[in-house]
Amino acid sequence: MIGWVIKKILGTQNQREVKRLLPLVEEAKRQGEALRNLSIEQLRAKTPLFRERLAKGETLDQLLPEAFATVVALCRRLTEEKRKIRVRGQEMKWEMVPFDVQLIGGIVLHSGRIAEMATGEGKTLVATLPTYLNALAGKGVHVVTVNDYLAARDAEWMGEVYRELGLTVGCLQHGQTQAERRAQYACDITYGTCSEFGFDYLRDNGMATTPEDQVQRGHFFAIIDEVDSILIDEARTPLIISGPVTVSTHQFDKYKSVIDGLVRKQNGLCTDWANQAKAKGEAGDLPGAGRLLYRVKLGSPRNKLLLKFQEDPAMRRAIDDAELEMYQDTRRTELYKTKEEMYFSIDERNSEADLSEMGRTFLNPNDPNFFLVPDLITKNHDIETNRALSEEEKLKEKQVAQAEYEDASQRIHNISQLLRAYCVFEKDVHYVVQENKVMIVDEYTGRLMPGRRWSDGLHQAVEAKEGVQIDRETQTLATITIQNYFRLYEKLGGMTGTAETEANEFKDIYRLGVVVIPTNQPCVRVDADDMIFKTRREKLNALIEEIKKRNAVGQPMLVGTASVESSEIISRMLRRENIPHNVLNAKQHQQEAEIVTRAGERGAVTIATNMAGRGTDIKLSAGVAELGGLHVVGTERHESRRIDRQLRGRCARQGDPGSGQFFISFEDDLMRNFGDSRRIGGLMTKLGMEEDEGLQHPWLNRSVETAQKRVEGRNYQIRKHTLQYDDVMNQQRTVIYAWRTDILNSTDPRPEVFETVDERIAAEVEARAGTDPVDLDGLVRWANAAMPVGLSKEDLLGAGGKEEWTTFLKARVREAYEVKVKFENPEAVKALERFVVLGAIDRLWQEHLYAMDGLRTSINLRAYGQKDPLIEYKNEAYGMFGELMGRIKEEVVHNLFRSASSLSAFEHFLAALPQRTGRGELPGQDQPTEGSMSMGGGGGGSTVVEEALVPVKRQGPKLGRNDPCPIDPKKKFKNCCGATGSKGCLKVSA
């Protein structure tokens, strides 16, 4: 009842919103009358006129009706002259003039919202309206598609409109060079996938070393096609550019063999229980059997016997009862006891694994506590209250405790990832092994995801399990979530057939409202109730019968599956029945698009995972409408209602007839993990379900949807969680990238460089003057170590207080720098200065990202300490960022004088210096003050540039490792300043 009321209100609110836009549509149509007789050339001449009006102060909103009308008029001209266009190698006739509902969609997109328009309503064309309008502003409009094929298709297809109106269109494709990419972005309109856009942003801001390396030109307006797929499904994995890590912390190979043994033991145990359960069941003791099987579920959720038992509704209910019983006890005494009777327990819903005392003893019989996180809080408390200890001893003991804690956490983390790898992640379902590599299978699309890796060591754990080469851990060089990438845009618009169920998330995270646009023709699709079966086998058999029946009369069918695996099973079954069919699994976008286009032909049977062919229109061939149009069969309900709606929506486009139905069973993952099988089981008995027979009832649909809502809620929480953590990083990234971009684009970087130097000097003077007595020696040592300023204590003693010292040092450092640059080519110096800052930012930022990864992993363990991990994370991240900024500045100061565009310039500089500075003083000898730990202290801080982690292009001469060292030419560079760990490192670069 309440649901109905809400729907009613939502419905009218949406209708009101649509109604509110109608006057604009009318206005556009009125303007269109005036353009009716214009030729294509005359329409094209409108573009510069619009631009002039914008320049004179008119707004895009004001131009909207006329600009939309121009696009409509052009489409009409193209249709009239039956314009032929080559799209992806095929000739197409242009025969579309936007409908009124399409104009409404265009207005919604322009207003920065999501237009929900059903499949086949012509969203591709809708996008041209706001794209043309906004491109007039000259700041570039990005149209985001789900794959490269669609980007190319739409750029060619819709490109006709833009080009005829005098605008340029570009298209990003994987594998394009920098120069090609820059050319695409330079266009008025750029089509591409979200990964291409996102990675370009990361490369531009995290890696480019010259402005010419940057390809994007700002983030003005993006229209995202299939917006739910991109902002919700894809957003679960962030974009990451990574390189190999320098130090490795994983111990998976070390623990693999013991875990092998542990899992085998546990499986033995579980199989015993399952057999006992069988005996109990046969003896009529159902509750007893249920209790035993629930144990098996805890210990080995994918145990074959267990899965078999779960096919029997009575047994399933018994298992659920056992679970319920344990959870009814708020103190969970029984549950914990049960968990202690096995080696470890697995929570499949949350993908978590927990060792028990038994498991810990098995792993390390001499010291079971080896695999237990020490209770740091109690320990610290004990140390604190121990009167026998001095303050200093207390501190030491606490540090020891902390170190032990971290070691143990690392160990336990390794073990629990291995257990997850063994017991939750299944080969050929979650991943495949190809060419000695573990490759993730996307659970939504069944598509392989080459290059992507599970994070947090899970990937290596799976590699260890499969016995393939464990890849070195990778380190993040640059990363951004899809959410944060799209938040960069001044304005976003989105379109999809299915946004409504996720409207809250769009609102909360992207501030995007959703407007549901009515269809052009009334939709006559028939959605049948789900057909529900006890077992997967029964379900599949019934499904094949259904396909046979409809195929016999020639009705085309689209069979949607949740995974590649089930596509293949169904395909095998159909082959046995000699029913010709096509199988798609989103691996070959273009080829699939061609097959899907024909899915509406008489007698066609097309099996597809749910992303396969998305974005391609399915038209009915002649005579098919009389057979009822395309029939869609879902072979499993998806975790998300949205994906199911998407599948249903593939038929009955533009007023065509069409129908759809889902076939589900109790053994489907969704039902196993989230279904309320007691309730459904009860319903089924009440409704009188027979063996080997499907059951259909609206009540059942509702139960399934309840399960889906439960998962949707959980998945939203996961995405939100990821985002909350990334928000912290996002703020930091914004600061760093802005700094980087400033330097990169300044024609004269020197003022910025000296600003940094000045800040460092001021901070150092402040710190040294702040001690009692004033640490003059330290200041002198620091200054001389960092910069060739030949400072003596007398210089300072004569100069007054800290203000004067700062001024004095600032002047000195400029003087020294003048000497240095005298020998250099001025342009080379600019490049060098830029490089000194960029080099410092990049190296330390990447180190910082690595440290943040570590923080992220360790912070979750602190949840044990009853602190809010997010708050802890924010605090620590804030502190670390402050340190990072200090270190970057310190490194800039250090490297400014330690870099040269050529060896000879550097030698000249050194020769010109000696009056005040001894050569021996160049190497940094002093420890910098706190907060500025750098050079040498910064872990690998002295690596030479040629060993840089980032594979970016460096220009200019490089100092070879076997060249004479410029500081001491008698030695080879690699043995002197170039030696790893050498503090007197010279960076010759540029």
Q: Could you tell me which stretch among 91-99, 715-723, 789-797, 975-983 binds ligand ADP (CB under 6 A)?
A: 91-99
In the bound state with ligand ADP, the residue whose beta carbon lies nearer, of 312 and 617, is 617
Distance separating alpha carbons of residues 914 and 918, to the nearest angstrom: 6
Q: Could you tell me which stretch among 30-38, 94-102, 232-240, 707-715 binds ligand ADP (CB under 6 A)?
A: 94-102
Q: How far is the CB of 18 from ligand ADP (least distance, A)?
A: 17
Tokens of 12: 């009218």
Distance separating alpha carbons of residues 125 and 71, to the nearest angstrom: 10
Q: Are strands 658-665 and 531-533 parallel, antiparallel or unpaired?
A: parallel
Distance separating alpha carbons of residues 933 and 923, to the nearest angstrom: 16
87 beta partners: 90
Q: Could you tell me which stretch among 96-104, 158-166, 798-806, 976-984 binds ligand ADP (CB under 6 A)?
A: 96-104
Contact partner at residue 887 from ligand ADP, Mg ion, none, CB < 5 to 8 Å by partner kind: none
Contact partner at residue 941 from Mg ion, ligand ADP, none, CB < 5 to 8 Å by partner kind: none
Contact between 117 and ligand ADP per CB under 6 A: yes
Q: How far is the CB of 738 from Mg ion (least distance, A)?
A: 36
Angstrom CA distances, 804 to 326, 758, 759, 779, 788, stand at 74, 13, 15, 14, 19
Residue with tokens 């740091």: 376
- DSSP assignment letter at 651: S
Distance separating alpha carbons of residues 666 and 765, to the nearest angstrom: 72
| Phi, psi angles (nearest 5°) of residue 180 | -65, -45
* Residue 442: strand, helix, or coil: coil
Q: What is the amino acid identity at position 119?
A: T
457: left (phi over 0), alpha (psi -120 to 50) or beta: left
Q: How far is the CB of 118 from Mg ion (least distance, A)?
A: 10
Q: Could you tell me which stretch among 120-128, 552-560, 939-947, 974-982 binds ligand ADP (CB under 6 A)?
A: 120-128
Q: Could you tell me which stretch among 98-106, 381-389, 454-462, 588-596 binds ligand ADP (CB under 6 A)?
A: 98-106
Alpha helices for 178-245 (secondary structure H): 178-186, 194-206, 227-228
Binding-site string for Mg ion from residue 592 to residue 621, where x marks contact by CB under 5 A and - marks none: -----------------------x------
Binders in 76-135 for Mg ion, by CB under 5 A: 123
In the bound state with Mg ion, the residue whose beta carbon lies nearer, of 122 and 978, is 122
Distance separating alpha carbons of residues 148 and 176, to the nearest angstrom: 12
Q: Which run of H or of E encompasses 142?
A: strand 141-145
Contact partner at residue 255 from Mg ion, ligand ADP, none, CB < 5 to 8 Å by partner kind: none
Binders in 575-634 for ligand ADP, by CB under 6 A: 617
Contact between 124 and ligand ADP per CB under 6 A: yes
Angstrom CA distances, 420 to 299, 368, 373, 417, 929, stand at 12, 20, 18, 5, 45
Binders in 612-671 for Mg ion, by CB under 5 A: 615
Q: How many CA atoms lie within 13 A of 916 on its CB side?
A: 16
Contact partner at residue 98 from ligand ADP, Mg ion, none, CB < 5 to 8 Å by partner kind: ligand ADP
Contact partner at residue 942 from Mg ion, ligand ADP, none, CB < 5 to 8 Å by partner kind: none
Q: How many CA atoms lie within 13 A of 465 on its CB side?
A: 28
In the bound state with ligand ADP, the residue whose beta carbon lies nearer, of 127 and 700, is 127
Q: How far is the CB of 617 from ligand ADP (least distance, A)?
A: 4
Q: Minimal CA–CA distance to 604: which of 661, 638, 651?
A: 651
Q: Could you tell me which stretch among 97-105, 296-304, 754-762, 843-851 binds ligand ADP (CB under 6 A)?
A: 97-105
Q: Which run of H or of E encompasses 221?
A: strand 221-225
Say if CB 973 and CB 962 are below 8 A apart: yes
Q: How far is the CB of 228 from Mg ion (least distance, A)?
A: 12
| Phi, psi angles (nearest 5°) of residue 773 | -75, 165
> Per residue, what are the HEC states of 153-195?
HHHHHCHHHHHHCCCCEEECCCCCCHHHHHHHHHCCEEEEEHH
Contact between 32 and ligand ADP per CB under 6 A: no
Q: Minimal CA–CA distance to 655: which of 557, 558, 525?
A: 525
Q: How far is the CB of 589 from Mg ion (least distance, A)?
A: 13
Residue nearest to ligand ADP (CB): 122
Binders in 957-986 for ligand ADP, by CB under 6 A: none
- DSSP assignment letter at 634: E
**Residues binding Mg ion: number (CB under 5 A):** 2
Rg (CA), the chain: 33
Q: How far is the CB of 85 from ligand ADP (least distance, A)?
A: 11
Contact partner at residue 120 from Mg ion, ligand ADP, none, CB < 5 to 8 Å by partner kind: ligand ADP
In the bound state with ligand ADP, the residue whose beta carbon lies nearer, of 125 and 564, is 125
Binders in 511-540 for Mg ion, by CB under 5 A: none
Contact between 147 and ligand ADP per CB under 6 A: no
Contact between 121 and ligand ADP per CB under 6 A: yes
Q: How far is the CB of 691 from ligand ADP (least distance, A)?
A: 42
Contact between 120 and ligand ADP per CB under 6 A: yes
Contact between 241 and ligand ADP per CB under 6 A: no
Distance separating alpha carbons of residues 448 and 440, to the nearest angstrom: 6
Contact partner at residue 99 from ligand ADP, Mg ion, none, CB < 5 to 8 Å by partner kind: ligand ADP
**Residues binding ligand ADP: number (CB under 6 A):** 14
Residue with tokens 């069919």: 581
Contact partner at residue 509 from ligand ADP, Mg ion, none, CB < 5 to 8 Å by partner kind: none
In the bound state with ligand ADP, the residue whose beta carbon lies nearer, of 97 and 922, is 97
Q: How far is the CB of 755 from Mg ion (least distance, A)?
A: 50
Q: Contact residues for Mg ion (CB under 5 A)?
A: 123, 615
Q: Contact residues for ligand ADP (CB under 6 A)?
A: 96-99, 102, 117, 119-125, 617
